Chains A and B, each alone.
Chain A
């Protein structure tokens, strides 16, 4: 049986330091989307705060149903992203799960910077806070459904980035420091490469770790990429994983997880899959932060990396990606999470499961849930679906 990785203890200290630093009034803070230009912001001397991480924390503490109605009452529909509604609802309620790190309220931003490379919701989300705090909201408008990021698209996006740089120079009162940006990008690149290597180590049979480890251990590559701490953390994780002897782990089947995590059901789901000796070996979600940054071409590689993420790619690209990753990780079946409030990170609504099944022969199962709003998820229903699926595939 797998044991929790020791790195999870290190992670607690690391995140505690991160949030404590954000709470210091003397540090200028920029808010950024999780696949936004964090490296750029760090190069301008900002500490970076990620509202999506806050939404996930609310989800993990199962407080979504407590806060979402407050946002809905303020006009933010329960049908839109539940990260957004849970986060805005908590803000309107004057509460935050960051209180466990000593923060009584969210760190006050100097600027909010988004990238629509994941969804359009982030722009509306940041606009809400921009109006509340009276600070600028700037962003990169990345189009959706990209088959391949070609040169005209990259040229357009690079122009967006240069515009952001100009605006950040004004907001921060500092000139853009190319060398610093390269240093930060280099650190991001190192962390992402280590993260990718960690995820790929799960090609081993039996798997050394599971999706439920990944969604905990991904925190530094999201909130601390561009820092030495993230690099050190993933080096330590790599060392720990390389020492694991997985040969005696029991593994009946290997599954792939497509879609968002259900933050408030991590324990329930990991226990359930464990009961059947099923390893969820890999996921699209956790691979989304394995960016390919190169310090020597810091701007160009950043533009390209953020334009190439799975969520904004075409259906054809996504299908080919899934076929490749399922082969690479030697999976026996794929489960698709149809997240009620996240159409962008739900890939079961345009026939993808049926196509994947037809082209690979892999059994697929789609289930209904949500990332934060647990009213859309039923433990009983999921347990039945999974048990029947296992009975079906043997």
Chain B
């Protein structure tokens, strides 16, 4: 039970498509999570998240400390504010993974982090382009009039794939129309979309083992792991709490910051 004067922590990952929120619990695991679409008002979203966590009992009392990361990190008051690259590395480290190549595929960008002995030693971001990101798959799912669960299911029915040549998301949509005319099978076509995402990641930097995948795209399209293995030859596994990893990382960082810096305790 939380004593009412003890602070509780919320980690917020204010992403381009979704806001991910985590209340950390025992053993660095999420006690509660919440996901909502990124709208116009970050402060409105924060009120909604806090109300949600209070309603379900994850947060008790008013002493709530926020750690914030993601594109909207400058848009709300917080105890700590860090980039999602930092937060992802924290999430990995606090999940007990100290050596990894982490591929995070988000709504508008893809990131590759290299973590050695618990320290972030390098990172890469995709070029200023939606290809290979969640937006790319969202756009193509709209073209196919298909939800992501169905896409993932169909991709699992094939080991072969139809390569898509277009870098550009919009032109890939046009190419898909051509594939439909040629009656390319849906599983091959969707697997080709996943292959396109994986290939864009491979362009960013080298992927040394062990490779972990995180982000909303990974969480909702787990067939990507199989595509990484069969097409890139990269034996990737899903990172812990893939969609909430950055939110968890920043929540735990906020908690540590409060304990060490604000209260001055050594733990």
Chain A interface (Cβ within 8 Å of chain B)? 368, 376-378, 380-381, 384-385, 387-389, 391-392
Contacts and interface: CB of A to CB of B under 8 A. Distances in A.
Interface string B73-84: 000000000111
Contacts of B84: 384
Contact of B125 (A376, A377, A385): A385
Residue among B109, B120, B121, B122 with max Cβ neighbours from chain A (10 Å): B122
Contact of B123 (A378, A380, A388): A388
Nearest to B85: A388
B127 A387 contact: no
Contact of B128 (A376, A387, A388, A389): A376
Given A380-B71, A384-B83, A387-B83, A392 B121 contact: yes
A293 to B, nearest CB: 41
A391 B125 contact: no
B189 to A, nearest CB: 30
Interface residues of B, number: 14
A273 to B, nearest CB: 16
Contacts of A385: 125
B212 interface: no
B86 A391 contact: yes
9 contacts: A368-B128, A377-B128, A380-B71, A384-B125, A388-B123, A391-B83, A391-B85, A392-B121, A392-B122
A163 B127 CA distance: 45
Please provide the 8 A-B residue pairs with the shortest distance between their CB atoms, ordered closest to farther: A388-B85, A388-B83, A391-B86, A387-B83, A392-B120, A378-B128, A368-B127, A368-B128
Contacts of B120: 391-392
Interface in B76-123: 82-86, 109, 120-123
A392 B90 CA distance: 12
A391 B82 contact: yes
A224 B168 CA distance: 45
A384 B85 CA distance: 9
Interface residue SS majority, chain A:
helix
Contacts of A380: 71
Contacts of A391: 82-83, 85-86, 120
Contacts of B123: 388-389, 392
Contacts of B86: 388, 391
Contacts of B85: 384, 388, 391-392
Nearest to A391: B86
A391 B82 CA distance: 8
Contacts of A376: 128
Contacts of B128: 368, 376-378, 381
A389 B123 CA distance: 8
Contacts of A377: 128
Nearest to A378: B128
Residue among A368, A381, A385, A392 with max Cβ neighbours from chain B (10 Å): A392
A392 B86 CA distance: 8
Interface string B42-84: 0000000000000000000000000000010000000000111
Contacts of A389: 123
B131 to A, nearest CB: 14
A391 B128 CA distance: 21
Residue among A376, A378, A385, A391 with max Cβ neighbours from chain B (10 Å): A391
A388 B85 CA distance: 6
A387 B82 CA distance: 8
A380 B82 CA distance: 14
Contacts of A381: 109, 125, 128
Nearest to A385: B125
Nearest to B121: A392
A150 B183 CA distance: 62
Given A384-B71, A384-B125, A392-B120, 4 more contacts: A368-B127, A391-B83, A391-B85, A392-B121
A259 to B, nearest CB: 16
Contacts of B127: 368
A86 to B, nearest CB: 20
A368 B128 CA distance: 8
Interface in B119-150: 120-123, 125, 127-128
A82 B173 CA distance: 30
Nearest to B124: A366
A381 B109 CA distance: 10
A377 B127 CA distance: 10
B74 to A, nearest CB: 9
Contacts of B125: 381, 384-385
Nearest to B127: A368
A339 to B, nearest CB: 13
B203 to A, nearest CB: 13
A391 B85 CA distance: 9
A53 to B, nearest CB: 28
A376 B128 CA distance: 8
Contacts of B109: 381
